[in-house]
Structure 1
């Protein structure tokens, strides 16, 4: 294998998006905890796409642009009827987002900055609509149309939970929690799904196709599906009384425990995003009540994981995936929707990375591999004839 080049990577492979320090995560240089506590999602989206925080006029223009593109083509909505009702919502997401290229083929020239900008606007606008539509279809409810008077997070919530028979009233605590989940999942550096988006984009593929590829990667249980794995873990613990036994087992296999929503290999200590959602989860649980067994188990797990020296010393504190699962469960969303919600937040990060690639001439990705297969050998046919005998 050719040794790694000492020269820096070309511009299409550099990123100005998110970086991670020992106990800090930055979006375009802004600490993510400040953004999560002070900004709504569209302000963070503006920062991710433009590099700097907007002034009031820029924010209002951006917000209006995104808000007025939230409707999807009715044929996209009818596409859902071709899927089974028990389909995983992420399966619908992959299909519907990829299909956007068939409806918005007027913005597929990736060399055209105006095409790229409009494609980004359409995707960021329509992602919550498609996500909610995927959910509504799987629970056999009619899709709810977006409302222009609501925030990005609030609109997403009403499309998830509104029904025709009554008016949906937003709970401000739940709306703030959803906003923070979207902000904290907006980007996380060169993770698997972002790498997938950039790899697909390096060939010159359009944004909708690239994000559909990113969705498929995010769906994996070691990535966006970690939220779902966390909830399955909680479902296996029948009562709070069983938490100590579960944690004793976790100490024998800490890597498996890490995959279930505890610890993050990207941080030496605690994930700063988890600290924010920990506070938020407690507010949400206080708002909705904690009568649900799973939520009681989750809080018992959290208490031990934050105080037991073994978990503290090994960096196995509850992660952002754990708290995201707890909050979404408290909102009455099924675990199959956890990766979908993550995808709605992560879309702006994918778009920002994809846009960034196009600021310089594209270089197609071709990762190096170390071949460990067989060496040269002659082919032997099914009849036992060697290659030389066949000539």
Structure 2
């Protein structure tokens, strides 16, 4: 009999390896088991040669196969708690509903990053520091101005965050030393100052970068961030101000955006946050890690979902068309965007908080046909056995897209308004990882190799076309422009002096 870990009474898992008959005790802590404990569960591959290949590494212990991290915990965190079955979302223990009702975005940002609601003076200092960092270096502005007018704003924002890192060499572990942030875990004040300064800079500059991406699309010069306005007012001012003095965005819009930013600030280890932590585990600078998060958020299965939801509502058109569309969904001919979530198997608590914001905005913008279609769709979906049996309820994207659309925000700018507040969550998790005792371990997932076994190299003259090869087994033919054709038919000598000619003349 073998033992991988010490038996801890009832707080353990008993595993019997039927290949060997050995029994192992795996400790259970906080309803989780250590994946590395399974490495002790080994077998002799010589006795399982019919099923195990050398590439299965049988003698090196069991691996945990979990495609797309469906049930794998990779960090211990104090930041955000989600109970998908009950529809619960709390930041540092405080329900999202209370934060949306009572808090502001920057106050919530302080809570998420530092763990507690700030006192009045602490909040004022934090707000002042963030808004102090809204300005961009003029060379960053010049860089942003080089993008094409039809560039996707998320491409611009992703590049902009990476560019920021080039203007803070003292904050780059590759230049300033690999431990410039991890030294903070031992209480090194200089390391903590450096860390928190970058957090303030990124949060402060995020709305300015977002507005710059918007203005590039408009072909308009960049606005300088205003003084004396709130975080979301500063964003709207920088996006929209054209001329005149004492410009101030509509308070309903700035308030709605502030509440939406609270809702989008963090959501535990979602795709983009996991990407930030994956990149950050190499000890790269936080600007590069945030740029990586932007790239992940960009995808239509993540930050692009609100845009996809509105496009579908526009396609449906009027409430009269909803029954026919729902019938197609129940026949599995269409997929209903804006319903269901990877984590929630109940009502998304963020979608509940968003509903009132939607009403407030529509009082200013006027009645929205899109909302009427959305409400009809939500009503039919709630009565659909097909939807209920699959636990598909409206998610945060369902109403947030309607709000942005009513505010006149372009559809492809929706993920930018997701990325700006999500910087808070990304940086909170990044900071937490840098402060963990024992240092930062680089993330390196395992794989289950199912490819070819060992085989010999074949000289090029002896190779033959693979029998049964599919379209996936070689590059597909790429169509080139007319200049490529003309160049191929031209005559020239290359740098080595070899003559090339394909002309038929």
TM-score (norm 2): 0.71
Q: Does 1:320 align with 2:381?
A: no
- The alpha-carbon deviation at position 309 of structure 1 amounts to 4.4
Relative contact order (C-alpha < 8 Å, sep 6+): which is higher? 1
Q: Does 1:52 align with 2:116?
A: yes
Aligned equivalent of 2:455, options 358, 377, 391 = 377
Check whether the contact 2:111–2:117 (CA below 8 A) recurs between aligned residues. Answer: yes
Q: Take 1:58 and 1:226, find their aligned partners in 2: how far apart are those partners?
A: 36
Check whether the contact 2:149–2:218 (CA below 8 A) recurs between aligned residues. Answer: yes
Post-superposition Cα deviations, 1:296-325, rounded to whole Å, max 9, x if no partner, equal 422332332344444344332221011110
Alignment of 1:247-262 (within 5 A): 247-253=326-332, 256-257=335-336, 260-262=337-339
- The alpha-carbon deviation at position 344 of structure 1 amounts to 0.6
Q: Does 1:365 align with 2:427?
A: no
Check whether the contact 2:261–2:421 (CA below 8 A) recurs between aligned residues. Answer: yes
Aligned equivalent of 1:246, options 322, 325, 335 = 325
Aligned equivalent of 2:381, options 286, 305, 312 = 305
Post-superposition Cα deviations, 1:311-346, rounded to whole Å, max 9, x if no partner, equal 344332221011110010011001111100000110
Check whether the contact 2:318–2:373 (CA below 8 A) recurs between aligned residues. Answer: yes
Q: Does 1:101 align with 2:177?
A: no
Aligned equivalent of 1:290, options 360, 363, 367 = 367
Q: Take 1:205 and 1:316, find their aligned partners in 2: how far apart are those partners?
A: 38
Q: Take 1:298 and 1:214, find their aligned partners in 2: how far apart are those partners?
A: 30
- The alpha-carbon deviation at position 108 of structure 1 amounts to 2.3
- The alpha-carbon deviation at position 15 of structure 1 amounts to 1.6
Q: Does 1:85 align with 2:149?
A: yes
The aligned length equals 378
Q: Does 1:20 align with 2:79?
A: no
Check whether the contact 1:142–1:163 (CA below 8 A) recurs between aligned residues. Answer: no
What's the secondary structure of 1:82's corresponding residue? coil
Higher relative helix content: 1
Q: Take 2:272 and 2:302, find their aligned partners in 1: how far apart are those partners?
A: 8
- Alignment partner, residue 142 of structure 1: 221
Q: Does 1:6 align with 2:84?
A: no
What's the secondary structure of 1:383's corresponding residue? helix
Distance 1:169 1:136, change over 3 A: same
Distance 1:303 1:288, change over 3 A: farther
Aligned equivalent of 1:264, options 341, 353, 356 = 341
Aligned equivalent of 2:315, options 216, 233, 236 = 236
- Alignment partner, residue 183 of structure 1: 262
Unaligned runs of 5+ in 2: 1-33, 39-72, 174-179, 182-190, 465-505
Aligned equivalent of 2:195, options 116, 128, 132 = 116
CA RMSD of aligned residues (A): 2.1
Alignment of 1:26-41 (within 5 A): 26-41=90-105
Check whether the contact 1:85–1:137 (CA below 8 A) recurs between aligned residues. Answer: yes
Bigger Rg, which one: 2
Q: Take 2:326 and 2:246, find their aligned partners in 1: how far apart are those partners?
A: 44
- The alpha-carbon deviation at position 371 of structure 1 amounts to 1.2
- The alpha-carbon deviation at position 381 of structure 1 amounts to 2.5
Higher alpha-carbon deviation: 296-305 or 135-144: 296-305
Q: Take 1:299 and 1:325, find their aligned partners in 2: how far apart are those partners?
A: 13
- Alignment partner, residue 278 of structure 1: 355
Q: Take 1:140 and 1:74, find their aligned partners in 2: how far apart are those partners?
A: 18
Q: Take 1:325 and 1:167, find their aligned partners in 2: how far apart are those partners?
A: 30
Q: Take 1:146 and 1:325, find their aligned partners in 2: how far apart are those partners?
A: 26
Higher alpha-carbon deviation: 345-354 or 137-146: 137-146
Check whether the contact 1:66–1:122 (CA below 8 A) recurs between aligned residues. Answer: yes
Unaligned runs of 5+ in 1: 387-391
